Amino acid sequence: MLTSSRAWTVFAVVAVVIYVTDQLSKRAAVEHLTGRDDVKVVGELLQLHLTRNPGAAFSLGTGFTVGLSCLAIVATVVVLGVSRKVVDPVWAAGLGALLAGITGNLTDRMLREPGPFRGHVIDFLQLPNWPIFNVADIAINVGAGLILLQVFRGIRMDGTRPDHDVEDDT
């Protein structure tokens, strides 16, 4: 089992690597896709299509960008607080990916046009019959998936499992 500090290192490394990847990919998308037609990467399966999304997933909540920004700030604080207690490496990786995704999109909302708390998120990855998304969106889903995996496996953040098999035969 990892120590708390080693798990937190996993958390921090995952968060930083994914966050930087997200921001660099968005910068490249804006630089190379602005004003261009869709770029086919894998035929119709994966294309690059630049869009600026004021809403949340599936472009829902486009009128609530300020609220989404505030929610992302709260989520960031919660994930950072929870991460201080993590010992299990899978939980650490999941929380790190979740933090990277949340802060990656929050960075767009704070720094991009039309201004702080109202900025549009850069999306550029397109699959058939699916909303356009970005690396931060992938990270949020992977992070949530890893956390759910550990929950379903019965593994707590400290790496222990509740003892369900012990019965009192007295």
Task: Count other C-beta atoms under 10 Å from residue 15's C-beta.
Answer: 27
DSSP structure class, residue 112:
S
158 catalytic? Reply is: no
What end-to-end distance do the CA atoms of the chain give, in Å?
Answer: 33
Question: How far is it between the farthest Cα atoms of the chain?
Answer: 75
Residue 88, burial from CB neighbour count under 10 angstroms (0-12, 13-18, 19+): buried
123 flagged as catalytic? yes
Return d(Cα 136, Cα 122) in angstroms, integer: 10
Nearest to 105 by CA among 8, 11, 25, 13: 25
Catalytic-role residue among 22, 88, 108, 137: 137
One-letter amino acid identity for 79?
Answer: V
Q: Which one of 123, 158, 163, 165 is the catalytic residue?
A: 123
Active site residues: 123, 137
